Each structure stands twice: as C-alpha cells, then as structure tokens.
Structure 1
Amino acid sequence: MAKSKKIIPGGNQLLSKRAEMFLPDQWPAYYKKSKGCEVWDLDDNHYYDFSIMGIGTSSLGYANNEINDAVISSISNGSMSSLNCHEEVELAEKLIEIHPWAGAARFTRTGGESCALAVRIARAYSKKDVVAFCGYHGWHDWYLATNLTDGENLDEQLLPGLKPAGVPKQLQNTVVPFKEGDIEEFKAIIDKYGDNLGVVMMEVFRHGLPDIAFLKAVKALAVEHNIVIIFDEISSGFRLNTGGLIF
C-alpha cells in the first residue's frame, strides 16, 4: 500500500475502495483472486466479502462461471475494433424493455459520469442552471460546486470534507442540497430559487428501505413546478427488483 501511494494519488483509483474508508493500515487494499463471495489477498489471506461485493456491483458473485465464459468468448473474438459491438444494441433493447418509461439508452463508464451526463441533459432541456440534490452523485464539477457555497453542504450526503479545489468559482450557488425525508426543506428551495430551479437529482435509497411517500412528494412538486427529476439508482437499481423502482 505504501508503494501504491507514492505513484497513485490516494493509493488506488476509487475513493470508496480506499483502506482508510474501512481500517487504515490493516485493510487488505489489493486482491489476487476472487470467487463467489470469497477473496484472497496478496499474502493468500482468505476473506468472505459479506457486505459491499464490489461496491454493490457484483450481485451474482465474483467470477460467475456463466459470465466468465461469455467474457472469454468475447475476448477471443477481439475486445476492441473501429466498429461497434452489436451487443450494445441488444443491451439497449433489453434495458428499454425493463424500463418502459425510457425512450432510449445511453452507456457511460462510471456512476459519476452517468450523473454528470444526466444533469447536463436536464439542464439543456429545462434551460435552467440551478440543481437541487439529495444523496451522493459522484465527484464531477457540477456536484462538488455545492461546497463552493458552503464547505459543509456535502457533509450529510455521504462523504464529509470533500474539497471543491479546481471547481470553477462561477458554479457557486448552482447546486443546492436537501436532506432525505425533509420535504419542507425541498419546498424552501423551490420558494427561494423559483424559476431558476430546473433540475432535482436524488437517490431512491442507499442504507435503508426507500421512503416512498417522500419520493412521491418530491416527484409531485417537481411536476407541479416543471422541474426535471432524475432518480439516481446507481446504488439501488436491480437491488429490490429487476430494474429500477417504479412508483
């Protein structure tokens, strides 16, 4: 770990996988093998991953045989080309079938990139700059800009102490947080920003069951005030049912 920190800022590529998030100087930062819910570190210590499973992405377990076979077959046919892989069309069709409210699908590489793209599209559609948000939505400029206004704005969303260094100061006052379950705070944001508020981005749920009444109340206010609403289900999608929550 000491070696990695000398050549990689933070020691790895993802904040949510850093040893400091769990047990500094004791957490095994790197693995050699994984299968099902079992993990082996570089010293061959054996662990059971009974909680986060690849930050929630590995719902079928590590090194699933069926998925491995499909990936190996794809690699043998070439994993890169100047042409597009035909499977993306099949995947888009399946996603639209699962989510009939969607008219099209667009793929991104990370959750933060997905949120940034969604906010840009929503701002373009609404022709308004101010975004209200509830929850954690990545590390891009649009999101961290809220800490330009108040350095503690993100403290109750998930990760406290995030610095907006490098975020353009012109983005100050363009992003406003509200707390999960506090519909009065969201109403106050609508009253304060009025017609300048064009987008609301929120997680459906993260650590507990979703507050359906709260989600419906936010959605109703968004529809009433012509605000584009985005449900960020990067951490919740496919967890309770196939696809996202529908209400």
Structure 2
Amino acid sequence: MGRTTFSLYDYLPERSSIGIEQARENLNQAYAARLAADRDFKKNLVITDGMALYLYETRSNFRQDIKEAALQIVEDKYDLYNNHNTWPGQPPASHDTDLVRERVEHLLTNGNFLIRRDEGSNIYNFGHAALEETAFRAFWGKKGLARRLPEKFQVFPRMGLVLVATAVQCALMSYKGGGKAKLDFHARTFTPIYLKQLAALEYLEADALKGPRLERMRTRWSTIFFERARVDPGLKYLPDMTEVGVNTDDDDTS
C-alpha cells in the first residue's frame, strides 16, 4: 500500500506573519486535506501521553475545559462540606475551615481521592465518581475531543484518565486552606502532578489483576458516556457502540 507524505508546512508558508485565526484555518485545511488523502487517517491516529501533555500545556481552551469540569464537581462528589453526611462523626452541612482542611488532607494523602470503594469494600483505583464525572464533562462536553474523534474514545484513553486525575487533584488543592481559593492551573503546577499520576497508572497497569480491571473500567466509562451524550442532537454522528464492538459488560470485580 502506498504511503502519503504530508506536511503542515505546506499550509503555513509564512508562519511568522499570520495571526492565530488564520493559523487555525490553515490547520483545519491541512486536516481536511490529510483526511481526503487517507480515509483511515482518523482511525490510525494515535494519541500518545506526550501529545496529551503537550495539548494541555499549549491549548488554553482545553486546559480551561478540564479545569472547569473538575472545579464543578469536587465539592459535591467528595462532599467537602458534609452535606451528604459521608464523613462519620462530623457535623452535617459544616463549612468549618478546619474540618474542610482535614477532609482535603485525607483525600490527598496516598491518593485517596482516586479510589472508589464498593459496598463490599473492594477498591477500584482511578475509579472515584469525581474522576468519572470530570471525564464526561471534559471530553464529552460541548467541544470535547470525544465529539471530534469518537473512534478514539471507544475506550476512554489512558492519557485522558491521567489528565482527569491531575485536574481533580489540582481542584482539591484549591481547598487545602479550608475554603475555595483561586486555582493555579498553569503548566508549571500541572505537569509534575501529571507525571506522578502517569507513573502511578503505569504501576497499576503492570499488575496482572489491576491492569485489566482498569481497562475494563475505561471501556465501561466510554460506553456510558456515549449513551449519556446521545441525548444531545449535536452528537448524531456518534457511532452505535454495539456496532463497533464495545463490551458493555459492567462486571469489573474479577
């Protein structure tokens, strides 16, 4: 099979002299031309961990989407003010700064904020509901990547899981003083946390039991997310997940 040579430079002949809007339009044209030349272009596109980090560091809109998604849900999903009485022995609906600070400290210790525990006390790493909801809002939201590249999100990408875990950690850190403070989401803060989360994920993936469980979880999340997003008329082009062979089995206890 022949191979098509493709260069973005053909579409940016005078890169130093064009504005951001023109550059964006040129890149869109480049993408369209590449897709026209190779219909399997999107299917064969590989999103690497490095690409994910670069995207976060350089695209403020993408960074803002993840930031907003995490900030919208951490207060409720972790019940930081004990409105749902999930913190035993503590007063309900309490905004006491010392108590909030203690809760956040507990969540950030040893990655507790990453863990979901079921009724049988089984532990699911990177499975907390806060991460799940952040993933949906950030990647299946109005301009989410899953809308643009549904083929790449039949299984929620591992890089997406790392980005979400990092964003949620940063959002929780904004409550370390006992109240909501301005969140520093600059790359200099985000990148070291991202790399630590990536290392943690890779460690778990190497485990014979936890690795497959994580992959099943990511598959299940995508199946659920596509079904949730299907009610949005703007997502009519999304594939039928049963047709593309996604496993919808909810069993992740093995």
Q: Looking at both structures, which has the greater relative contact order when contacts are Cα pairs under 8 Å and sequence separation is at least 6?
A: 2
TM-score, structure 1 length as denominator?
0.27
Q: Whose helix fraction is larger, Structure 1's or Structure 2's?
A: 2
TM-score, structure 2 length as denominator?
0.27
Q: Whose strand fraction is larger, Structure 1's or Structure 2's?
A: 1
